[in-house]
Amino acid sequence: AQSVAQPEDQVNVAEGNPLTVKCTYSVSGNPYLFWYVQYPNRGLQFLLKYITGDNLVKGSYGFEAEFNKSQTSFHLKKPSALVSDSALYFCAVREGTNAGKSTFGDGTTLTVKP
């Protein structure tokens, strides 16, 4: 079984400061890891993914994520937050054999204050 945990319901940062949104996962095989963002009344938008290779993955809108196999984590980061980054962020995991089924974390609400 695959599972994802996002330990923080809410993250607050000041504009211009770095941000981190945490995610840990559990799978029995090799993980495929994803970050999505959801704005109010909208569907989810893909930000980035880790499949294999470099542990640091770069994605859309200046976001990046670091895959850490020993800690089973995939934290989302951005060096300098913008007010427009305020949204709901979801981490998701899939096992290679479970292609169509993504398991999502509960989501973290990011608020960036001016």
Partner 1 sequence: KAGVTQTPRYLIKTRGQQVTLSCSPISGHRSVSWYQQTPGQGLQFLFEYFSETQRNKGNFPGRFSGRQFSNSRSEMNVSTLELGDSALYLCASSLRATSGKNEQFFGPGTRLTVL
Residues that bind partner 1 (CB under 8 A): 32, 34, 36, 41-46, 49, 51, 90, 94-107
Q: How far is the CB of 89 from partner 1 (least distance, A)?
A: 12
CA distance 3 to 25: 6
Residue number with CB closer to partner 1 (85 or 107): 107
Q: How far is the CB of 8 from partner 1 (least distance, A)?
A: 14
Residue number with CB closer to partner 1 (15 or 102): 102
Residue number with CB closer to partner 1 (30 or 80): 30
